[in-house]
Amino acid sequence: VLEDREYHDVTMDDVSRRAGLAKGSLYLHFPTKERLFRELVEDMHAELLESLDRVRGSSAPGEPRVRALIAAQLGFFERHRGVFLQVFQGQMPFLCGDARRSRDMVGATLRVTTDVIEEAVRLRRFRSLDGPTAAIGLFGLIRGFVFAHILCGSSPALGSRAGVIWDLFFRGARA
Amino acid sequence: VLEDREYHDVTMDDVSRRAGLAKGSLYLHFPTKERLFRELVEDMHAELLESLDRVRGSSAPGEPRVRALIAAQLGFFERHRGVFLQVFQGQMPFLCGDARRSRDMVGATLRVTTDVIEEAVRLRRFRSLDGPTAAIGLFGLIRGFVFAHILCGSSPALGSRAGVIWDLFFRGARA
Amino acid sequence: VLEDREYHDVTMDDVSRRAGLAKGSLYLHFPTKERLFRELVEDMHAELLESLDRVRGSSAPGEPRVRALIAAQLGFFERHRGVFLQVFQGQMPFLCGDARRSRDMVGATLRVTTDVIEEAVRLRRFRSLDGPTAAIGLFGLIRGFVFAHILCGSSPALGSRAGVIWDLFFRGARA
Amino acid sequence: VLEDREYHDVTMDDVSRRAGLAKGSLYLHFPTKERLFRELVEDMHAELLESLDRVRGSSAPGEPRVRALIAAQLGFFERHRGVFLQVFQGQMPFLCGDARRSRDMVGATLRVTTDVIEEAVRLRRFRSLDGPTAAIGLFGLIRGFVFAHILCGSSPALGSRAGVIWDLFFRGARA
DNA sequence: TATGAATGAGGGTTCATTCAT
DNA sequence: AATGAATGAACCCTCATTCAT
């Protein structure tokens, strides 16, 4: 439903109609509208963390792992394009009014990113960088492309930007 | 008011109380709640564009100009920390339901950034980069630090991160 | 509720209280205050037309039918005395801002009246009259008595005036 | 202003703009919106009574006087067509929420009409009629044509219906 | 477990009225 | 006398939530 209307314009009526349930039945599963959407976002976030975790198992440390991490995030945002269109446009209280939870979600992503980057530093693939700081940078870089992608329609495909992001992050702009 | 409550939870009563006006008086100045907040955002955006324009006049092309651009954006976000806390947390419909306007605002920023980057490319300070793409990258990088700053409280000062951002953007992570 | 307060002074709160419903419940049945009152008036009007139609089935053409028509209208206004007190005093936008609809309602009544009068003319019970014009006259005559009745309290009973109206309409004032 | 908008949709702003005065200045002349419109209606009514009074001075008793009375009323309604369009459609609380006053206005008209009719009865121009009752009839007859005229646009001219009204009232429908 | 009619607090907006200038 | 910006009570309508069935 969020792909059509923003959070505040989505009524429980809309949700129930889409769910093929009666309005009252929604309340058998979620005590509150806020909780319903919070769980939606948390599910999505769990999925992201899971896919970031899989990065560790399925790729070699260093460059391949960083690239896999970038790809995993792009894939995640592409899969949930509709919802993030809302989130980025600020249409959905990202975590339904709970800043700490928002911090936690971003924090978890940053922690994984930091680990992967520090790994690459240890392997001398990256120069000596402050892990958390570089993680913020990479995080922002990725979101920048996601943002642009979502805002400007769907071309070019988000997945295809992984190479560009890696190139910018790895080599920088320097001549 | 936006620093306390999100857009949809801010009532015109809240606004008027904070403004020291009666509720009705608000409507002498803005025909609609949406318009009131739209104008707020547009004023802020105009200020950003103005300060980005000033970058051209007050700095040499190439590296200094890119650094000035980064600083200008950081300064802008720091000045409006409160509002952007909301925006980044998705608490405020940044553009009050008008995606095109959102695209325009971001587009204007990206255009200036593109110009400045292409300048640096022409001057051989940057390697041969696709201007618009690199602009998205820099834009994301900056916003990433702003986001982290806003989310994690105020330390370290946002302005002090200009060097880090420049370093990451210019040199990349490569060993 | 209209018997106590005029349309614009009747709040949906008043209506709901009188209906023994919550305010919101009203909106399950009518999308709008205007529509609620419009339907009230339309229902009343449908009832009037129905009772005018019945006149045709239950009375002989000519004099009896005209008398029945007069009686039917008086009965209708008497049944809805309260509402028409408002309407005649101009307390209720009779048609809620839609002049065409008003014309239609009156038009339908006039058409039936015209038919009945022309019938009587054909039967040589009435002299040769322009049907539509005479219908307006009879319509006004009836409403005049309704108006007076409503304005001056309830005596004498409206139904008892049918004879007087017929007498005036049939014989005129001529010596 | 009443010719464009109904009473409740006319704001004091509208009135002041039309009057070429500031809104506040209105309140130097009328303490209240209701009072402003009440005085408007009372002025109109005074004008009607005056013109009915003139009927006595300017026409012979009996038939000419009744005809003059009819003409005077038609003229009055034609002059104030706009306002009465509102009143008849029930758009304007005829006397701003004061039924007694409404009764008085109609009562005054009926009294004059009664006098004129009884005069004609005494002169044997009319058969023996109950004055007040016949007055109500004539009053209704006239209003019926005014109503039809106002509702159906302006043709035919209201003034031209005086003959028809007189004919109906005088001769009745009888063959 | 499922329903959906009913609820009623709360929001945006209007506009008659006031009052400092 | 004239102004018009300011006021704030009041209204229509929405929608998350409840509860009898």
Write out pLDDT tens, residues D102-139. Answer: 677 788 899 999 999 999 999 999 999 999 999 999 99
Please, what's the largest Cα pairwise distance for chain A?
63
Helix (H) or strand (E) holding C53: helix C33-58
- % chain D with pLDDT above 70: 88
Query: If you measure CA to CA, which chain D residue comes closest to C134?
Result: D168
- What span, in angstroms and rounded, lies between the C-alpha atoms of D98 and D76? 22
CB C11 within 7 Å, strand F: yes
- % chain A with pLDDT above 70: 88
Average pLDDT, chain B: 86
Q: Which phi and psi (to 5°) does residue A126 adopt?
A: -110, 150
Residue A9 (CA) to nucleotide E4 (C1'), in angstroms, measures: 21
- % chain A with pLDDT above 90: 57
* Most B-contacting residue of A83, A119, A122, A174 (CB-CB within 10 A), to test interface: A174
Q: What's A117's DSSP letter? A: H
Residue B33 (CA) to nucleotide E12 (C1'), in angstroms, measures: 8
Given this model, what pLDDT does residue D91 score? 47
Tell if the CB–CB gap between B141 and A141 is shorter than 8 Å. yes
pLDDT band at A8 (very low <50, low <70, confident <90, very high): confident
Average pLDDT, chain A: 86
Which residues of chain D lie closer than 8 angstroms to C147, CB-CB? 106, 140, 143
- How many Å lie between the alpha carbon of C144 and the closest alpha carbon of chain D? 4
Whole-model pTM above 0.75?
yes
- How many Å lie between the alpha carbon of B69 and the closest alpha carbon of chain A? 15
- Give the residues across from D126 on adjacent strands: C174
Q: What's B157's DSSP letter? A: P
pLDDT of residue B41 exceeding 50, the answer is: yes
Helix (H) or strand (E) holding D28: helix D23-29
Given this model, what pLDDT does residue D86 score? 66
A and B touch with 3+ CB pairs <8 Å, answer yes
Which residues of chain C lie closer than 8 angstroms to D8, CB-CB? 8
CB A28 within 7 Å, strand E: yes
Q: Least CB-CB distance to C172: which of D6, D8, D171?
A: D171
pLDDT band at B60 (very low <50, low <70, confident <90, very high): very high
Q: What is the pLDDT averaged over residues D31-44?
A: 88
Instruction: Look up tokens 């003959």; give the residue.
Output: D163
Q: What is the pLDDT averaged over residues B138-144?
A: 94
Which residues of chain A lie closer than 8 angstroms to B166, CB-CB? none
* Most D-contacting residue of C124, C125, C151 (CB-CB within 10 A), to test interface: C151
- % chain D with pLDDT above 90: 58
Tell if the CB–CB gap between B144 and A148 is shorter than 8 Å. no
Nucleotide nearest to D13 (CA to C1'): E15
Given this model, what pLDDT does residue D43 score? 87
- Give the residues across from B174 on adjacent strands: A126
Residue type, position A30, single letter: F
Average pLDDT, chain D: 87
* Closest among C56, C65, C55, C58 to C121, alpha carbons compared: C65
Given this model, what pLDDT does residue C25 score? 94
Which residue would you say has higher pLDDT here, C17 or D82?
A: C17
- What span, in angstroms and rounded, lies between the C-alpha atoms of C131 and D115? 31
* Closest among D44, D45, D69, D70 to D55, alpha carbons compared: D69
pLDDT band at A163 (very low <50, low <70, confident <90, very high): very high
- What span, in angstroms and rounded, lies between the C-alpha atoms of A108 and C163? 91
Strand F-contacting residues in C 20-49, CB cut-off 7 angstroms = 23-24, 27, 31-34
Given this model, what pLDDT does residue B94 score? 45
Query: If you measure CA to CA, which chain B residue comes closest to A142?
Result: B140
Helical pair D63-79 and D99-122, crossing angle rounded to 10 deg = 150
- What span, in angstroms and rounded, lies between the C-alpha atoms of C66 and A133? 95
Nucleotide nearest to D12 (CA to C1'): E16
Nucleotide nearest to B36 (CA to C1'): E12
Which residues of chain B lie closer than 8 angstroms to A126, CB-CB? 173-175
Q: What is the pLDDT averaged over residues A70-80?
A: 91
pLDDT of residue D94 exceeding 50, the answer is: no
pLDDT of residue D95 exceeding 50, the answer is: no
Q: Least CB-CB distance to A148: which of B124, B136, B175?
A: B136
pLDDT of residue B149 exceeding 90, the answer is: no
Tell if the CB–CB gap between A169 and B164 is shorter than 8 Å. no
CA distances from A2 to B102, B117, B132, D47, D167 (A): 18, 36, 30, 65, 72
C124: left (phi over 0), alpha (psi -120 to 50) or beta: left
Which residues of chain B lie closer than 8 angstroms to A117, CB-CB? 173
Given this model, what pLDDT does residue C95 score? 47
Which residue would you say has higher pLDDT here, B85 or A113?
A: A113
Which residues of chain B lie closer than 8 angstroms to A45, CB-CB? none
- What span, in angstroms and rounded, lies between the C-alpha atoms of B76 and B71? 8
Strand F-contacting residues in B 20-49, CB cut-off 7 angstroms = 20-25, 27-29
- How many Å lie between the alpha carbon of C2 and the closest alpha carbon of chain D? 13
Least confident of A158-172, B72-86, C34-48, C138-152: B72-86
- What span, in angstroms and rounded, lies between the C-alpha atoms of A144 and B143? 8
Tell if the CB–CB gap between B136 and A124 is shorter than 8 Å. no
CB D23 within 7 Å, strand E: yes
CB C28 within 7 Å, strand E: yes
Which residue would you say has higher pLDDT here, C145 or B80?
A: C145
pLDDT band at C94 (very low <50, low <70, confident <90, very high): very low
Query: If you measure CA to CA, which chain D residue comes closest to C128?
Result: D175
